Structure 1
Amino acid sequence: MSAELSSVQRRARIHAALGDPARLAIVDTLTLGDASPGEIARALDLPTNLVAHHVKVLQDAGVLVRTRSEGDRRRTYLRLEPDALASLTPPPLRDVPRVVFVCTHNSARSQLAAALWADRADIPAASAGTQPAERVHPRAVAVARRHGLIIDATGTAHVADVVTDADLVVAVCDNAHEDLTAGVRPRLHWSVPAPADTDAAFEAAFADLATRVDRLAPAVHSVPPQRKHQTGTPSS
């Protein structure tokens, strides 16, 4: 079988999987962030057995994959395969004055995500942790430097001191997503694995976050200047 025919057949299989309204709604839910099957069932008001059926069809078509939670090992999360998103346009997120990336210790993933965002998007960004460490992980500082980005090694913070109601909160680890059940609630969740203490693991986490930032940035729109003036929202 030629590579061209194989590619056409794979694309046809993906389109067939997306031909059901419920499956397309599941993909829309996962376009910008990961979710568990139960979270999808609640968001779309669908029976869990029906969600399980649609998830299997999408998984068999190569549209999504399952990953085990690093927090509650009984839970699994669904994420879209990046190359299956080429023909999908994420729904826009409007009136976002700032993006805040959150992980547990605010020492690696959230710091890298905020640095990537500041480099690639115009909307302001910050980072925070649910249990912030005293310092940023040295390998996070190093991997950022290798890619031309700067992270303040002492710049960790708690979510309570950073996040406001207007922020778009992105939880970049499973524990933060599961911990933030009241008060601050992430609007998006990225199930990025905790990097092992090796340069290769931090490079992999950086690459994962870079792909996700590049996917999210075009879908986020800031508050229009005239509305900022009317509502008193700071312009920077």
Structure 2
Amino acid sequence: MFDLPEVLFVCVHNAGRSQMAAALLHHHAQGRVLVRSAGSSPADTINPAVVEVMAELGLDLSQEFPKPLTTEAVQAADVVITMGCGDACQVFPGKRYLDWRLDDPAGQDPEHVRPIRDEIARRVTALLTELEPAEA
């Protein structure tokens, strides 16, 4: 058995960007990467516009919910990707940290959330290539 790389996506509310990123990486990695998401100050529910635009891609977030950022989640991750959580994100030696500056989908309609989703999808695809180079 070998260790899979683990990626943690963190934003403030874990209701938009980090949820989209986690769902997209989980979908594209097909079990080759462990994926988690969390929020430094989790919301009560996922942004409905985020659920809608992800459903357009066939990804169902309707059963997902915002999760709190924990020390254990950060320690377990190989790569921690922050999306606007500022100083609330814990830093541990030996971890790879990336800060993806993305617009916040909070309060936005689906028309404005789609470009955010699409940018996250581009970054997730590039990340997956870095984590697991193409075999062919």
Q: Secondary structure, in 3 states, of the residue corresponding to 2:37?
A: strand
Q: Are positions 1:202 and 2:107 aligned together?
A: no
Distance 2:120 2:55 in 1: 15
- Assess if the C-alpha contact under 8 Å between 2:74 and 2:90 holds in 1: no
Q: Are positions 1:102 and 2:10 aligned together?
A: yes
- Assess if the C-alpha contact under 8 Å between 1:103 and 1:109 holds in 2: yes
Structure 1 counterpart of 2:23? 115
Distance 1:186 1:140 in 2: 27
Q: What code does the residue aligned with 1:202 have?
A: V
Cα 1:182–1:99 change in 2 (3 A) is closer
Structure 2 counterpart of 1:125? 35
Two-structure CA RMSD over aligned residues (Å): 2.3
The number of residues matched between the two structures is: 125
Structure 2 counterpart of 1:179? 88
- Assess if the C-alpha contact under 8 Å between 1:106 and 1:133 holds in 2: yes
Structure 2 counterpart of 1:67? none
Q: What code does the residue aligned with 2:89 have?
A: L
Distance 1:161 1:135 in 2: 22
Q: Secondary structure, in 3 states, of the residue corresponding to 1:165?
A: helix
State the Cα distance separating 1:135 from its structure 2 match: 0.7
State the Cα distance separating 1:166 from its structure 2 match: 3.2
User: Rg larger in 1 or in 2?
Assistant: 1
Q: What code does the residue aligned with 1:179 have?
A: A
Distance 1:217 1:186 in 2: 14
Q: What code does the residue aligned with 2:65 have?
A: G
Q: Secondary structure, in 3 states, of the residue corresponding to 2:49?
A: helix
- Assess if the C-alpha contact under 8 Å between 2:4 and 2:34 holds in 1: no
Deviations 1:10-63 (A, max 9, x none): xxxxxxxxxxxxxxxxxxxxxxxxxxxxxxxxxxxxxxxxxxxxxxxxxxxxxx
**Moved runs in structure 1, 4+ residues, more than 2 A?**
181-186
Q: Are positions 1:158 and 2:68 aligned together?
A: yes
Q: Are positions 1:213 and 2:124 aligned together?
A: yes
Distance 1:186 1:179 in 2: 16
Higher helix share: 1
State the Cα distance separating 1:165 from its structure 2 match: 1.4
Unmatched 5+ stretches in structure 1? 1-94, 222-236
Structure 1 counterpart of 2:98? 188
Distance 2:116 2:27 in 1: 17
Counterparts of 1:14-33 in structure 2 under 5 Å?
none
Q: Which has the higher contact order (CA 8 A, sep 6+)?
A: 2
- Assess if the C-alpha contact under 8 Å between 2:8 and 2:74 holds in 1: no
Cα 1:162–1:133 change in 2 (3 A) is farther
Structure 1 counterpart of 2:51? 141
Cα 1:181–1:161 change in 2 (3 A) is closer
Deviations 1:170-211 (A, max 9, x none): 11x22x144325569871110011125111111011011001
- Assess if the C-alpha contact under 8 Å between 2:14 and 2:67 holds in 1: yes
Distance 1:191 1:151 in 2: 22
